[in-house]
Structure 1
Amino acid sequence: MSKITGDVINVGLLKRVFQYVKPYQRIFIISVILTVLLAALAPLRPILIGYTLDHHIITGDYSGLLNMTILMLVLLVIQTGVQYSHTLLTNTLGQSAIRDLRIDVFNHITKLRLKYFDNTPIGQLITRTVSDLETIAEIFSEGLIVIIGDILMVIVIIGVMVYEDWALTLVVLLPMPLLIIATSIFQKAIKSAFQEIRTEVSNLNTYLQEHITGVSIIQYFARERQEYNKFLKINGRYRDANIRSNWYYSIFFPVVEIISAMSLGLLVWYGAKTILNNPAIKPGIITEFIMYIGMLFRPIRELADKFNTLQMGMVGAERVFKVLDTNEITDNKGTYAPELMKGNISFEKVWFAYNEENYVLKDISFEVETGKTIALVGATGAGKSSTINILNRFYEIQKGEIKVDGIKIQDYELSYLRNKIATVLQDVFLFSDTIFNNITLNNDAITMEEVIDAAKKVGAHDFIERLPGGYQYNVMERGATLSAGQAQLISFIRALVYNPAILVLDEATSSVDTETEMLIQRAIENLMKGRTSIVIAHRLSTIQKADKILVLEKGEIKEMGTHQQLLKLDGYYKKLYDLQFNSTGISTSV
């Protein structure tokens, strides 16, 4: 992992950032040219003012004064134009590079295995893709290029001062060591404060993302006051970190002003003494040097701040590239993508663990023939959902083989494999978008006619038509404006329009009422026709017609057979059945 240690910028990390500048080389080159031009133009105005004072104002040459005034106005317009172009181009360069980097980060995150998200707070990833990336943008707009420009300006101004009067220059620069010491101390202190701010921003984003998403749980259990108090502490740490950085600024800037005043005082004292002792020396040079002091101390004062901006950009880059360097990406070397997938599934001695140690699936072997239905039952934690996760290659198995149509799933092109497996989950996720876009997931190949046809087959067309705007109705974030049953029906339409070869129903009816369940059961029958289906359900009434039922317990297959066969075994499945059905035949969920 790239690191920033002390005051040294990691050159390798900086080069990696500048890889994103390559498509915008022209803008970069023009920005550098404008930076050099600004440094060259900087001392011209004091020179012109000093010359005007000595040769036109003192001598009373009003014609020459007018000409010099016009010349200075022209110079001012040129400087303004150059400064405007420089600021515009450096910011454009930064935002363009960051746009490309943000695209890469988002694209990379969407390809990461679910295992990565199991261990990484979503708020942290939001910080990486938003605020950390903005600090990288400042490398261009407020960091490296501006630092180079300020250093060039200081070098040019000192060079002009030495050329005009080396003795006067030495007097002006006498307090400079004090400024360098103060700047060094400030730079180290403010860097530490900025790092603390970045950490607290990440903590704040993580907390807000989790608790705003889970606000219903907070309200259900009346935890508003307790969570409010936690937020006060996190927000307080963020405030304190910002106050500390402001405190360093409040000390540093007055110190710089004092040192600048010392230079000015020495200049006035030495300059006045020199003029009195040598009348041939004109006051114009003193005026020039007074202006030079302001131009000299301003960039030096800001260098520490800008250098820290550069370092914070590098810290942000380090964090962002750490995400990009994450190898938790599903191997996508498979290229097999036949025109037709039949959907024959086979698990052969499959072992799987989330943490490489504790196996949640142990020596699992079964087969689902094309067009048949297999049901997975068992207590929570038995390994039902894990079976689905490894079939979709969200996680990789440690031992054994999983095949579809006799081909190992690793040999399939990943997007092809997942397109052929439609999964309907218990917890339906809907985006803040229209019903149509939630069904098609913005796939232009799916038409409105196909969506309506699928909705009618599922039995959802009538309720969608009753909504304001119909299929263009915005469901809001996570489908908040729809009932659980309605959201579930939309997920069924989504599965149907993608015409999968394999259908997975993971607790698809456990969150709906009896009437909606009956509607969904009819939809399931339509959906399963001609498709290989894997059904996970707690309600045994929903799987009695399955061609095969797999009973899992602690990651192992305990029983396998049809509903009637398993009842005759008088084993684990029979116990589940007896728990769910009392003597009157009324089903209860386990």
Structure 2
Amino acid sequence: MAKVKEAKKQSKHLERFHYTIDQAIEKPFNWKQMWRLLQFLKPYSKTYLPGAIIAMVIATAVRLAIPILIGKVAVDIAIARSDTNLLVYLVIGIAILYMISFIANRFRIKWVNILGQNVIYDLRQKLFSHVQRLSHRFFDTRSAGSILVRILNDINSLQELFTNGIINLLMDILMLSGIIIILFIMSPPLALAVVIVIPLMFIISTTLRRKIRRSWQMVRLQQSRMNSHLNEGLQGMRITQSFSQEKENAEFFDGVNSGYFNSFRDAAKKSAFFRPLVDICDAAGTIILIAFGSYLILNGTIELGTFISFAFFLGMFWEPISRLGQMYNQLLMAMASSERIFEFLDEQPNVAEKENAYEIKKMDGKIEFDEVEFAYNADRLALKKISLDIQAGQTIALVGHTGSGKSTIANLISRFYDPTSGAVKVDGHDLRDVTLDSLRQRISVVLQDTFIFSGTIMENIRFGRPDATDEEVKEAAKVVGADSFISRLANDYETEVEERGNILSAGERQLLSFARALLANPSIIILDEATASIDTESEVKIQKALKRLLKGRTSIIIAHRLSTIREADCIYVLEQGKVLEYGSHQELMQQHGKYYDLVKSQFTMLDAI
């Protein structure tokens, strides 16, 4: 049954992929998008790019000159007249030309590789920086795996285009143009006979365009799907093993992996058809040259040297034709990837700064919610006409069932989202009027699932304030009580904590997050279920750390464990996006309302245990 469900799920995914691709295929080749992609070459338009173009022109000119020297000069003049001196000069001259071509090609390859790597670096840096500035709503609707594919794989697929493709395209166009012009100058009838196969090749190749483009877009989509599943599978490995679902998970991955394998094989198969097509045209052109060229020689219309030059040029002719076919495939791959890259680059933050936004120079921490409404989805309000008045330095607590709006209030204070209506103000400033950096630099958020970065203990605490000294980092750790366990680690503050802090306990990770928040010296601190996953023994240490951390700061505590918020100045009880009641712990207990029921039910459960 599970396999059937997974198969149906995969089928639905593929239906959506095919629908997306079909829409993309109907669009013509996006030259505007290609031009936009080429704008990333601008910073190098006065350095590596002109150097590579000059080297390419020199190498191409040399290659075009050599067949003429061999056919017209060596055969028709030197050999025909038995001029050995001229032959010697020609051999030396051609050797020098080959050396010049070698040097020019060496610099061309060097400069285009430097150019390409710089462009890829700039593009990836720009995309990552842009994604970092996008709003939380963007990440709510996309998996980490699909974002990784855009930043890594899609940009990598442009590498060949920028390192070789663009210069090779110019070189091949120049080479083809030069060959065609020379052939028609040497013998228009023979040239016309030889190049007559080009329109046929063009007609056949253009019929493959839609299929090839569709195939490479499918590869990108399947790759995105596989990366997304891999990311999810690795992060949820403990859950998978806990429920012994390794086999089911492997079977599902096998389906995703097979989808990517088959799509890539299909795209490669269609792309590979270009080379045999070129070979057929090459064979046809050679047959025409031998047959018609021999006839023209016997007729006295052309000389033997012209025929030999034609043979050289014909061999050179199909090489750029073949590369142009491959280049077209590269362009199709680049279009498939650039569409996805520019989709992200064109994404605008839902929470955007105004052009005239100003910085908050100093923050006391007074927070005001003025008739605030907010909806994650248009059909359901998360907050309904919420009004709060939190004084600077106060500690307030938000309690209520899951989905009551507690975390939404915290997100609005940090301006991860903007209210649908109403206003959120800090020290009288509407948050929509101030810069994001100046706001968030004065707010620290500590979450239930503390994120610890790969690196040392020192680097993790310093994350919120990179310019802090080692002494300031250690002092922050001592204040929140983290120094005691850090000093027991193998390398003290230089201990590597590995990915997500796996070598630390939940309580130790939380103490690190408190030290990180304290070092940032915020005016407002938000604790979102910060003690929910801590054991009772660790909670005692955490509560001591909290007293030091919250002292003199406006604090918003979100907690299900009501014992942690008794000392709050004001407790707001939320339900379905509304404030039901508020007051101190004693005041709310005397009212015998919702808060009283929550406390009573929680302690009843503890007594039962």
Give me the TM-score of the superposition, normalised by structure 2.
0.90
Partner amino acid for 1:225?
K
Q: Indicate the residue corresponding to 2:583 in structure 1.
A: 561
- 1:344 and 2:382 matched: no
Q: Indicate the residue corresponding to 1:43 in structure 2.
A: 64
Partner amino acid for 1:30?
G
Tell me which of 541, 545, 561 is aligned to 2:563. 541
Q: Indicate the residue corresponding to 2:487 in structure 1.
A: 465
C-alpha contact (below 8 Å) 1:128/1:320 kept by paired residues: yes
**Separation in 1, partners of 2:218, 2:369:** 50
The 1:180/1:16 distance shift into structure 2, 3 A limit, reads closer
SS at match of 1:499: coil
Partner amino acid for 1:191?
R
The 1:549/1:182 distance shift into structure 2, 3 A limit, reads same
The 1:109/1:453 distance shift into structure 2, 3 A limit, reads same
C-alpha contact (below 8 Å) 1:186/1:252 kept by paired residues: no
**Separation in 1, partners of 2:237, 2:249:** 10
Partner amino acid for 1:301?
S
Q: Structure 1: any 5+ residue segments left out of the alignment?
A: none
Give per-residue Cα distances to partners, 1:116-142, cap 9 Å, x unaligned: 111122222222222222334444334
Deviation (angstroms), 1:317: 2.3
The 1:422/1:149 distance shift into structure 2, 3 A limit, reads same
- 1:221 and 2:250 matched: no
Give per-residue Cα distances to partners, 1:348-379, cap 9 Å, x unaligned: 22111112331111121222222221111111
Q: Indicate the residue corresponding to 1:382 in structure 2.
A: 404
**TM-align CA RMSD:** 2.4
Tell me which of 145, 149, 161 is aligned to 1:127. 149
SS at match of 1:474: coil
Deviation (angstroms), 1:226: 1.3
Q: Following superposition of structure 1 onto structure 2, how do residues 324-363 of structure 1 map, counting pairs within 5 Å?
A: 324-333=345-354, 335-363=357-385
Partner amino acid for 2:334?
G
**Separation in 2, partners of 1:572, 1:162:** 93
Q: Following superposition of structure 1 onto structure 2, how do residues 142-181 of structure 1 map, counting pairs within 5 Å?
A: 142-181=164-203
Deviation (angstroms), 1:513: 1.4
The 1:241/1:362 distance shift into structure 2, 3 A limit, reads same
SS at match of 1:535: strand
C-alpha contact (below 8 Å) 1:336/1:411 kept by paired residues: yes
Q: Following superposition of structure 1 onto structure 2, how do residues 406-555 of structure 1 map, counting pairs within 5 Å?
A: 406-441=428-463, 443-555=465-577
Q: Following superposition of structure 1 onto structure 2, how do residues 64-143 of structure 1 map, counting pairs within 5 Å?
A: 64-143=86-165
**Separation in 2, partners of 1:530, 1:443:** 19
**Separation in 1, partners of 2:28, 2:67:** 35
Give per-residue Cα distances to partners, 1:190-229, cap 9 Å, x unaligned: 2222222222222222222222222222222222111211
The 1:82/1:570 distance shift into structure 2, 3 A limit, reads same
The 1:99/1:471 distance shift into structure 2, 3 A limit, reads same
Deviation (angstroms), 1:84: 2.5
- 1:20 and 2:36 matched: no
Q: Following superposition of structure 1 onto structure 2, how do residues 299-318 of structure 1 map, counting pairs within 5 Å?
A: 299-318=320-339
C-alpha contact (below 8 Å) 1:43/1:156 kept by paired residues: yes
Partner amino acid for 1:285?
T
Q: Following superposition of structure 1 onto structure 2, how do residues 280-319 of structure 1 map, counting pairs within 5 Å?
A: 282-319=303-340
**Separation in 1, partners of 2:106, 2:217:** 31
SS at match of 1:466: coil
C-alpha contact (below 8 Å) 1:182/1:252 kept by paired residues: no
Partner amino acid for 1:45?
I
C-alpha contact (below 8 Å) 1:187/1:305 kept by paired residues: no
The 1:299/1:265 distance shift into structure 2, 3 A limit, reads same
C-alpha contact (below 8 Å) 1:479/1:487 kept by paired residues: yes
The 1:35/1:4 distance shift into structure 2, 3 A limit, reads farther
**Separation in 2, partners of 1:413, 1:265:** 72
**Separation in 2, partners of 1:365, 1:248:** 62
The 1:63/1:186 distance shift into structure 2, 3 A limit, reads farther
Partner amino acid for 2:562?
L
C-alpha contact (below 8 Å) 2:213/2:333 kept by paired residues: yes
Tell me which of 208, 215, 218 is aligned to 1:193. 215
**Separation in 1, partners of 2:294, 2:462:** 81
**Separation in 1, partners of 2:490, 2:527:** 29
Give per-residue Cα distances to partners, 1:159-217, cap 9 Å, x unaligned: 11121222222332243333223332344432222222222222222222222222222
**Separation in 1, partners of 2:357, 2:202:** 61
- 1:32 and 2:53 matched: yes
C-alpha contact (below 8 Å) 2:365/2:393 kept by paired residues: yes
SS at match of 1:167: helix
C-alpha contact (below 8 Å) 1:364/1:557 kept by paired residues: yes
The 1:14/1:274 distance shift into structure 2, 3 A limit, reads closer
The 1:89/1:566 distance shift into structure 2, 3 A limit, reads same
* Identical positions, percent: 39
Give per-residue Cα distances to partners, 1:449-472, cap 9 Å, x unaligned: 111011111111121122222222
C-alpha contact (below 8 Å) 1:42/1:157 kept by paired residues: no
The 1:576/1:417 distance shift into structure 2, 3 A limit, reads same
The 1:69/1:7 distance shift into structure 2, 3 A limit, reads farther
Q: Structure 2: any 5+ residue segments left out of the alignment?
A: 1-22
Give per-residue Cα distances to partners, 1:305-337, cap 9 Å, x unaligned: 212312332332222222122122422236444
Deviation (angstroms), 1:155: 1.3
Give per-residue Cα distances to partners, 1:213-255, cap 9 Å, x unaligned: 2222222222211121111112112111221223224443223
Aligned residues: 584
